DNA sequence: TGTACATCAGTGAACGCGCGTTCACTGATGTAC
DNA sequence: TGTACATCAGTGAACGCGCGTTCACTGATGTAC
């Protein structure tokens, strides 16, 4: 997918020559400018020519670093995924250290804060797909990291082992189990299907409430999105049995 | 916003002359072709020139009907909102006639079906905003119609008056009440803040789960989105106290 | 250490694309007397 | 019913835009002997 960034050497290995060092630095600079443009104007407006202009080099020079516009965009998308995943994992780790209130509210708030700080990147990750462009396969990994940061604590049975495992109201249990099998296996092994479904519901609510806010759908409707967010996420956590109070 | 479509007359009134009739028909035809292109390639690819090509007329001729590309796009957006609102209301009405299971599952399934049938329109309504383009104010009305179709039954206290009105676990009740005040007033008058928050949570879950599916985020993860959808929406209805079984 | 060659970075001009929009125009349709 | 004028629909050429990408090139950096 990417043009080899370091000639024939391992892309992560230390640069051997001065030339390699300069190349790495310029690559970083290009990505930085591109990221800034993406944050300012969105993915659709990302243009190699304008990046070249900002870097005061010719447009064709960029082709030494990225083989096409799509290639550059892929790099940016991966960065966005990675940045969001880092952010979610940090929040999860902090919540683990502090104990108490649990990871769900902490991680969800961190994700929301990231989205508000990076609306165009959020759109790139969870918004409408860019037509004619296919996201790189490698996004699977950071995507899973985000979900795991949010939902991982469930695997431990919740803060005080009070996870809600009741399966009351399960429509078509077998079909549902098959439907969510990959998630159950990868993220929540050993937990009942009902929990997996509730976790996915919470995931959908998280993505939905953030998207509604970031994409401007609360205008004149929800005056304080933060309060509503906290409440809705607390409700979700309670449904899962993750709240501090008795479920 | 729109170019006057009927000269000086009331835009909805019957056409007076043959010229007016032809004009109305061509306007309709333009919108039809544009809608088809939108459905096929998405909003970004919508082009006056290609519409003109398909209609075998000159690009400039379209300016007799729409004052700009944005004007045409606005018309399409309004149509999309209206179509989705119609669909939601029909499902709500059918559920009312049939009684029993309640409007929530019926309406949410109808909305999902519409989204799957019109993914690009869904993206236009709930996806990332088109940069540099502002949606017309008039979308407020169909937007409210959709929400009302889903959430309206709550105002009646649920199918058997078993609406869950417990306010346990309300963080910062006063702040929250102020935050959601416009929704409470317009959509759910007289109901406790806790219910309003839960309803908005359900709304977010609905939009989120549909967007995740339509935008391709379930790939290799949720094998049968329909089953998961039904389950998650049933959980939401139960949280609200709308299920057939005891809450 | 010095020379000969290979590799690579960056340039500048050019190609071709499709777009939205404007404008002066022709010819048809409608209207007033 | 017929004529004179106004309104409107649609044309075709043109403008200017910015884009991604290619290509032959120059000059600098690295490498092998």
Would the pLDDT of A57 be above 90? yes
Q: Which of B207, B220, B245 sits opposite A208 (nearest CB)?
A: B207
CA–CA separation, B223 and A241 (whole Å): 26
Q: What is the largest CA-CA distance in chain B?
A: 65
The predicted model gives A116-136 an average pLDDT of 94
pLDDT on residue B8? 35
- Chain B residues in contact with A235 by the CB 8 A cut-off are 169, 197-198, 201, 239
Would the pLDDT of A75 be above 60? yes
DSSP label at residue A9: S
Interchain pair A209, B206: CB under 8 A: no
Nucleotides of strand C within 7 Å of the protein's CB atoms = 7-14, 18-24, 29-31
CA–CA separation, B142 and B144 (whole Å): 5
Interchain pair A200, B207: CB under 8 A: no
pLDDT on residue A4? 38
Would the pLDDT of A246 be above 50? no
Q: How far is the CA of A133 from the C1' of D11 (A)?
A: 37
pLDDT on residue A158? 59
pLDDT on residue B160? 61
Chain B 27-56, CB < 7 Å to strand D? 56
CA–CA separation, A214 and B217 (whole Å): 18
pLDDT on residue B14? 54
pLDDT on residue A8? 35
* CB A209 within 7 Å, strand D: no
Rounded to 10 deg, the angle between the B193-214 and B119-126 helix axes is: 140
What is the length of chain B? 247
pTM of the model: 0.93
Q: What is the DSSP string of A64-82?
A: GT-SSHHHHHHHHHHHHHH
pLDDT on residue A132? 84
Looking at CA atoms only, how far is residue A208 from chain B in angstroms? 4
pLDDT on residue B100? 67
Chain B 2-41, CB < 7 Å to strand C? 16-19
- Chain B residues in contact with A209 by the CB 8 A cut-off are 200-201, 204, 208
- Spell out the per-residue pLDDT of chain B, length 247, in tens: 334 333 333 444 555 788 899 999 999 999 999 999 999 999 999 999 999 999 999 999 999 999 999 999 999 999 999 999 999 999 999 999 987 677 899 999 999 999 999 999 999 999 999 888 888 999 999 999 999 999 988 887 655 668 899 998 899 999 999 999 999 999 999 999 999 999 999 999 999 999 999 999 999 999 999 999 999 999 999 999 887 544 3
What are the residues facing B8 on neighbouring strands? B6
What token pair was written down for B156?
Answer: 């009646």
- Could you report the per-residue pLDDT of A144-198, keeping only the tens digit for each? 999 999 998 888 765 566 889 999 889 999 999 999 999 999 999 999 999 999 9
pLDDT on residue A1? 34
Query: If you measure CA to C1', which residue is closest to nucleotide D31?
Result: A17
Q: Which of A175, A217, A223 sits opposite B181 (nearest CB)?
A: A223
The phi and psi torsions of B7 (rounded to 5 degrees) equal 60, -130
């Amino acid at each position: 997918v990417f043009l080899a960034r370091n000639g024939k050497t391992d892309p992560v290995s230390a640069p051997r020559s001065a030339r390699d060092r300069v190349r790495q630095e310029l690559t970083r600079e290009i990505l930085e400018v591109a990221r800034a443009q993406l944050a300012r104007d969105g993915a659709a407006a990302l243009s190699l020519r304008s990046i070249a202009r900002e870097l005061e080099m010719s447009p064709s020079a960029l082709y030494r670093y990225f083989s096409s516009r799509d290639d550059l965009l892929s790099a940016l998308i991966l960065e966005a995924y990675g940045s969001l995943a880092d952010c979610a994992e940090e929040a999860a780790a902090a919540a683990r250290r502090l104990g108490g209130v649990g990871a769900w509210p902490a991680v969800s708030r961190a994700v929301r804060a990231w989205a508000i700080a990076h609306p165009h990147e959020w759109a790139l990750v969870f918004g409408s797909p860019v037509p004619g462009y296919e996201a790189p396969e490698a996004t699977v990994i950071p995507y899973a990291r985000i979900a795991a940061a949010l939902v991982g604590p469930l695997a431990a049975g919740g803060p005080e082992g009070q996870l809600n495992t009741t399966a009351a109201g399960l429509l078509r249990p077998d079909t549902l189990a098959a439907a969510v099998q990959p998630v159950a296996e990868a993220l929540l092994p050993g937990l009942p299907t009902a929990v997996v479904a509730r976790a996915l519901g919470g995931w959908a609510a998280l993505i939905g409430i953030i998207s509604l806010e970031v994409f401007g759908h609360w205008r004149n409707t929800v005056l304080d999105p933060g309060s509503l967010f906290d409440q809705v996420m607390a409700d979700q956590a309670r449904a899962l049995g993750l709240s501090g109070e008795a479920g």
